[in-house]
Amino acid sequence: MVDLPAPIGGTVLSSDFAPAVVFAALYGLLALLIAYRLYDRRSRTTLLIGSIIFSVERIVIFSLRASQARNDAMRYSGGLLNYMQVSFGLGFVGLAGELVGLLRCLLVNATYGSETFAQSPAAMTKGCVTGPPPEGTPDLKSTRFAARRFADVAGFAFLAATVPGIIANADFSKAQNDQDQADKTARLRYASTATVLGFILVLFAIVMWGRMRLSRISRRGVGVILLLMSLLATVAIYRLIVMRFKTTSIREFSPLNSPGSKATFYVFHMLPEWLFGLIVFGGNSRQTFGTGRWGDWRSRDETEKEKALREKKKAESDNKKAELNEKKRIEQVE
């Protein structure tokens, strides 16, 4: 008899039908917000592509979960078991990794001085809460360099949570018949989730450092990103608490199959993820974090030659706009 780690969310039962339908509907409503953000050019940003994919995938997940609740053959499908454990185990990891890009913009925008602000992603964001600094504001070049290098390292660091998460859950169904595989799955699940929680705490410390040391950092952005981190930390802590539970088979009793455990799963794992999406798409994240369309894509500050070229292109663009506006004005007069 194999001592199997209980699947997160338990075995899909008939009682899962209602919450699965509710969450599928909630993510469907979220998809409308996403469509609006994609339509509105002033709120589009590539930094949220991962959240968009995640939200669409959750509609699929909960639709399948609702079908499983009404179909015994699907309920015990090994393929669906693997898919759902991978999705639940890696979904919040991807969201946590997405925070790095937002945090990078938040920090980098606050380091530009009055002479260099035009290079910042905030300068490319109409209506950004981080406006141009007052004349004479010094440039914090070394701080900006450090923020970018930290973001580079942090982005790769989340791979340390992604890889064990994939290995642990991709063959979850096989662990039912192999104790060594079951033990490996348990260890890797802990490693993946603990790594994410550790990095979230590191990001939290960096945000608080920026809040205290960077006078021009967006207070709204700090508040929003701390809230997003708290939601993902809730998911990680929930997983670390319940991963200690074992079962002998997904067809047998599992502590995570009780009504209380099911409710806890939806409240502390599924709901925070949905709230994450509601916050990033419900508000204009592009303006809140000053991401521009592409985020802080620069690996270094621009050279004098690059600056001259940028200013030339901007002048040409401004001239074209002025000519178009003048042409429209003349047409209206005539």
Task: Mark whether 84 and 193 lie in a shared domain.
Answer: yes
Q: What is the CATH number of the domain that holds 81?
A: 1.20.1070
Helical axes 17-39 vs 271-282, angle rounded to 10°: 20
Residues 191 and 284 in one domain: yes
Nearest to 130 by CA among 302, 298, 290: 290
DSSP string across 98-113: HHHHHHHHHHHHTT--
Q: Is 244 helix (H, G, I), strand (E, B) or coil?
A: coil
Angle at 218 between CA 217 and CA 224, to 5 degrees: 125
Q: What SS3 state is found at 10?
A: coil
Q: How far, in Å, CA of 12 to CA of 262, rounded?
A: 10
Same domain, 57 and 182: yes
pTM > 0.85? yes
Residue 4 backbone dihedrals phi, psi, to 5 degrees: -90, 135
Q: How far apart are CA 24 and CA 68, in angstroms?
A: 14
Residue 274 belongs to domain spanning: 4-301
The per-residue DSSP string of 15-29 comes to GGHHHHHHHHHHHHH
HEC assignment per residue over 128-155: CCCCCCCCCCCCCHHHHHHHHHHHHHHH
37 shares its domain with 185: yes
Q: For residues 11 and 254, is the Cβ–Cβ distance under 8 A?
A: yes
Relative orientation angle of helices 159-170 and 179-213, to the nearest 10 degrees: 160
What was the pLDDT predicted at 334? 61
The pair of structure tokens assigned to 70 is 């009404």
Same domain for 174 and 202:
yes
Q: Give Cβ neighbours of residue 125 (< 8 Å, ≥ 6 apart).
A: 286, 287, 290, 291, 292
CA–CA separation, 334 and 123 (whole Å): 37
* Below-50 pLDDT ranges, the chain: none
Q: Are residues 290 and 320 in the same domain?
A: no
**pLDDT tens-digit readout, 132-162:** 999 999 999 999 999 999 999 988 878 888 9
- Same domain? For 133 and 35 the reply is yes
Q: Cβ atoms within 10 A of the Cβ of 168, count?
A: 26
Please give the pLDDT value at position 333.
67
Question: DSSP character for 301?
Answer: P
Q: Tokens for 297?
A: 């894509």
Structurally, how many domains does the chain consist of? Answer: 2
Supply the pLDDT for residue 120: 93
Residues 276 and 316 in one domain: no
